[in-house]
Structure 1
Amino acid sequence: MVRHLGFFQFKEGVSDEEIAMCFDELRAMVGQIPGLLSIEHGLHQSDEGLDDGFTHAFCMTFESIAARDAYLPHPVHMQRVELFQPRLERVIVCDFEVQDAFKATV
């Protein structure tokens, strides 16, 4: 399993409605791109001060590295890139392969 994490800083003037529409379109990729299992996203809500101006985050889960690799040039993904890109000031993306999940034993 692969996690694909992204952090967005939207440009000044991008409305909440535009941001919501972008994330609606992002979520709609599940079921359209093989191996894309889920998408979660949300508004940054920490007071730690470590966000460096990024306001939103997302996490996609892919069944494999091959599925993630096929997603990158997929036409549905490229449509979302075209939707988001003009609205973004900055973006960071980071991927990692899930090896073992650690759970609390309380």
Structure 2
Amino acid sequence: MIRHLGGFKFKDETTPEQIRYCFSELRAMVGQLPGLLKIEHGPHKSDEGLDEGLEHVFCMTFDSFESRDAYLPHPIHMERVELFGLYLERAIVLDFEPTPECTAAL
């Protein structure tokens, strides 16, 4: 499994309704894109001071790097990139493959 995660800082004028709409459209990709298993997201909640101004976080789970690679240029994804682009001031995205010891049952 591959984790595709990131953080967003929305423009000051972006409304909570617009943010909810963006994330509802993001969640709607599950079931539309092969290999996209799950999307989780929510507002950033930490007092560590290491967020560099990012306000919202997402984590997508793909079944493989191949599925993630197919997702990146996919028209459905590109529609979301355009949508979020209307409202975002900043975004970061990172990908990783959890090591076996991370995915083992506790």
Q: Which runs of 5+ in 1 are unaligned?
A: none
User: Do structure 1's residue 45 and structure 2's residue 45 form an aligned pair?
Assistant: yes
Alignment-mate amino acid for residue 78 of structure 1: M
Find the aligned partners of 1:3 and 1:43 in 2 and give their Cα distance.
18
CA RMSD in angstroms, aligned pairs only? 1.3
Find the aligned partners of 1:47 and 1:8 in 2 and give their Cα distance.
17
Find the aligned partners of 1:62 and 1:70 in 2 and give their Cα distance.
11
**CA shift for structure 1 position 97:** 1.3
Find the aligned partners of 1:6 and 1:46 in 2 and give their Cα distance.
15
Alignment-mate amino acid for residue 67 of structure 2: A
**CA shift for structure 1 position 99:** 2.4
Give the total of aligned pairs. Answer: 105
Find the aligned partners of 1:37 and 1:98 in 2 and give their Cα distance.
15
TM-score in terms of structure 2 length: 0.94
**CA shift for structure 1 position 24:** 0.3
**CA shift for structure 1 position 86:** 1.7
Does the residue aligned with 1:41 lie in a helix, a strand or coil?
strand
Find the aligned partners of 1:102 and 1:30 in 2 and give their Cα distance.
22
* Map 1:19-98 → 2, pairs under 5 A: 19-98=19-98
User: Do structure 1's residue 4 and structure 2's residue 28 form an aligned pair?
Assistant: no
**CA shift for structure 1 position 6:** 1.0
Find the aligned partners of 1:13 and 1:104 in 2 and give their Cα distance.
43
Find the aligned partners of 2:103 and 2:38 in 1 and give their Cα distance.
20
- List, as ranges, runs of 4+ consecutive aligned residues in structure 1 with deviation greater than 2 Å: 102-105
TM-score in terms of structure 1 length: 0.94
User: Do structure 1's residue 13 and structure 2's residue 38 form an aligned pair?
Assistant: no
Find the aligned partners of 1:71 and 1:104 in 2 and give their Cα distance.
29
Does the residue aligned with 1:91 lie in a helix, a strand or coil?
strand
Alignment-mate amino acid for residue 25 of structure 1: E
